[in-house]
Amino acid sequence: MLAHAVPSESDAGPKKAGRERLCVLTRAVKPVTDMIRFVVGPDGGVVADLKCSLPGRGLWLTATGEALAAAVKRRVFARGFGPEVRVPADFPARVDALLETSVLDALAIARKAGAVACGFAKVEAALADAPVIAVIHADGAAADGIRKLDAAIRRHSSPGRAEIAVVSDFRGDQMDLAFGRPNVVHAALLAGPAGNTFIARFLRLKRFRTGGRDKPDAGLTQRKA
């Protein structure tokens, strides 16, 4: 019986990534969706290739902050790319910031695509008659507003409707920038490609921050709708 080939921890370029890779730290084979690809940038520093599109040889690592911190401490990138490669001590924090930015960028794209409703009244209306997949509250939003929208989700629930994600991880100023308007406290995200991209990126961010211990939703609160 032929043995299955074990994927490599590295690749020769983004087009040769494959569906699974070997984690350079843990030596575990995982889907590429559960990993982050890293390459060496023009300045000799390690770069997180979040879209798996950057040229050059890449190394793959389990997509958690814990794994990245361990890889930096154990000089895994120096062994994989060469001793001259540069990895800043705060590299995990920088990658966290990149992941967060990618989530907020997805939210901005959803807004441009007309796939969001902003403001308490519009969110409440969307929950009544639109295919909402997520309700987003600014960090620090009033408990009363959150409670009323939770009640609206339950009120408009029906058999067969998907669960609605509830996100409260972003500051008000971050939401204002993403939505292109001031004082955004509550927003609803509608079903569609743009909304799905936001959810996928948000789950990746949560997995990076939590280590994936809250799978399958990696910390994403959900309400039945």
Digit-coded pLDDT (tens) for 20-48? 999 999 999 999 999 999 999 999 999 99
Residue 178 in any domain: the answer is yes
**Residue after which a domain boundary falls, among 61, 88, 115:** 88
Q: Do 159 and 192 sit in the same domain of this protein?
A: yes
Residue 4 in any domain: the answer is no
What is the arithmetic mean of pLDDT over 150-176?
Answer: 88
The share of the chain scoring above pLDDT 70, in percent, equals 88
Q: Do 79 and 178 sit in the same domain of this protein?
A: no
Q: How far is CA 150 from CA 87, 123, 127, in A?
A: 44, 11, 10
Q: How far apart are CA 143 and CA 147, in angstroms?
A: 6
Q: What is the pLDDT of residue 162?
A: 73
CA neighbor of 190 nearest in space, from 119, 104, 127? 127
Domain residues for the domain of 219 are 95-223
Q: Do 70 and 148 sit in the same domain of this protein?
A: no
Is residue 16 pLDDT above 70, yes or no?
no
Q: How far apart are CA 182 and CA 184, in angstroms?
A: 6
**Residue after which a domain boundary falls, among 88, 107, 129:** 88
What is the arithmetic mean of pLDDT over 185-190?
Answer: 97
pLDDT digit string, tens, across residues 88-116: 989 999 999 999 999 999 999 999 999 99
Q: What is the DSSP letter of 160?
A: T
pLDDT band, very low/low/confident/very high, at 58 (cuts 50, 70, 90): very high
**Domains of the chain: total:** 2
Is residue 219 pLDDT above 50, yes or no?
no
Q: How far apart are CA 21 and CA 90, in angstroms?
A: 25
| Neighbouring residues of 91: CB distance < 8 A, sequence distance ≥ 6 | 46, 68, 72
Q: What is the pLDDT of residue 136?
A: 97
Q: What is the pLDDT of residue 11?
A: 87
